[in-house]
Amino acid sequence: MNINKVKNIISESGLKFTHQRMVIYKSIVDAENHPTAEHVFDSIKTQNPSISLGTVYKTLDTFVNAGLIQKFVDNKGVMRFDAILEAHSHIYCRKTNEISDYQNKALELMLKDFFEKHKIEDFEIDEISIVIKGQKVQ
C-alpha cells in the first residue's frame, strides 16, 4: 500500500496523519497473520527506532476507536489486530496460534438471513463474526 493511500485512509478517519501512524498502519495492513502489538513493534523498530512499544499500543487503540482496524483476543488472551473491515470470519489453529481470514459469501448470506428471521429482542446486529477453531491437519 502506498504512502498516499495510507495518508488518505488515516486522514479520512478524522485522525491527524503522522509518520508513526503511517508506519504502524502499514505494518498491520501488510501483515498476513493478525499481528499482536509486539509483532507490529518488532516489524517496525529497526527502521523506526524512535517508535516505542507504548506508542504502538496507543496508536493501535486509536485506530480501533477510529474504525480503521479490528481488535480481538485469541485463545491465549492475546490481543490481535486485523485491517480487513469487511464482514469475514477467522480460522484459528490451536497448535500454531495462527489466525487467518475466512471469507465465504454463502455463509455470510445464511447468517444474515437467519438473523432476519430470528431477531434478537431489543438488539440491533451490526456485524457477525465467527471464529472457527481447530488445528491444521497435515
Q: List residues forming the annotated binding site.
A: 93, 108
Q: Are 70 and 47 in contact (CB under 8 A)?
A: no
Numbered residues of the known binding site for Zn(2+)? 93
The three-class DSSP label of residue 90 is: strand
Total residues found in the chain within this entry: 138
CA distance 57 to 63: 10
Annotated binding-site positions for Fe cation: 108
Which CA distances in Å does 45 have to 3, 55, 62, 131? 18, 11, 19, 31
CB 44 within 8 A of CB 37: no
- Distance, CA of 25 to chain centre: 11
All three cell numbers of 80, joined, read 490481535
